[in-house]
Amino acid sequence: MKQADKSKIVEEVRELLSSSSVAVVTHYRGLTVAEMTELRVKLREAGANVRVVKNTLAKRAVAGTPFEALGEFLVGPTSIAFSADPVAPAKVISAFAKTHPKIQIVGGVLDGKAMDAEGIERLAKLPSKEELLAKMLGSLNAPITNFVGVLAAVPGSFVRVLNAVREQKEAA
């Protein structure tokens, strides 16, 4: 491989890292091309990218970046998944690993902090950003909804009392 090609690959990986908050390293030994393509498609659907890069080039790419800790995981046949969403690649790869045991999560980096395989698995179990936002909005709306319910209950009770008095007078 020519030096210019190597430099281009290093720059591409650096560019992917600059727009990412998480990178997950996996060993893919034993996966077929079809299985690897399936993983790439699932990651792309989740808004993540995956690259298979020579370890020496990947180590050059992460040097001097917040992802420098990835260097310790770059041993053997590795692929790196990148994403701006901190949970997406961990979820996709973890689910994929359940049906394809040949892929192994080695570790990763989240916001500059190294995580082992167990940490990535815990990250995969977290709810997505959208789920967390929905829960937060539900929590913010609950007091308002309850307040409106209380306000509506007072006139409703008054109307029921008046109706009971009217029925009582009609019966008498």
Q: Are 139 and 107 found together in one domain?
A: no
Cα separation, 27 vs 163, in Å, equals: 74
Q: Is the pLDDT of residue 21 over 80?
A: yes
pLDDT of residue 41: 93
Phi and psi at 106, nearest 5°, equal -95, -45
Task: Tell me the residue range of the domain where 69 lies.
Answer: 3-126
pLDDT one-digit tens code per residue, 118-160:
888 888 888 877 788 888 888 888 888 887 888 888 888 888 8
pLDDT one-digit tens code per residue, 38-94:
999 999 998 888 888 888 888 888 888 888 888 888 888 888 998 888 888 889 999
Q: Are 13 and 82 found together in one domain?
A: yes
Of the candidates 81, 87, 90, 95, the one whose C-alpha atom is nearest the C-alpha of residue 132 is: 87
Q: Are 119 and 134 found together in one domain?
A: no
* Dihedral of the alpha carbons of 85, 91, 94, 96, in degrees to the nearest 10: -100
Q: Are 27 and 73 found together in one domain?
A: yes
Cα separation, 32 vs 11, in Å, equals: 28
- 116: domain CATH number is 3.30.70.1730
DSSP state of 162: H
Of the candidates 88, 70, 79, the one whose C-alpha atom is nearest the C-alpha of residue 33 is: 79
Q: Are 122 and 135 found together in one domain?
A: no
Q: Are 78 and 156 found together in one domain?
A: no
Q: Are 106 and 135 found together in one domain?
A: no
Contact 43, 89 (CB under 8 A): yes
- Domain tally for the chain? 2
Count other Cβ atoms within 10 Å, centred on residue 80.
28
Q: Are 83 and 159 found together in one domain?
A: no
Contact 36, 77 (CB under 8 A): no
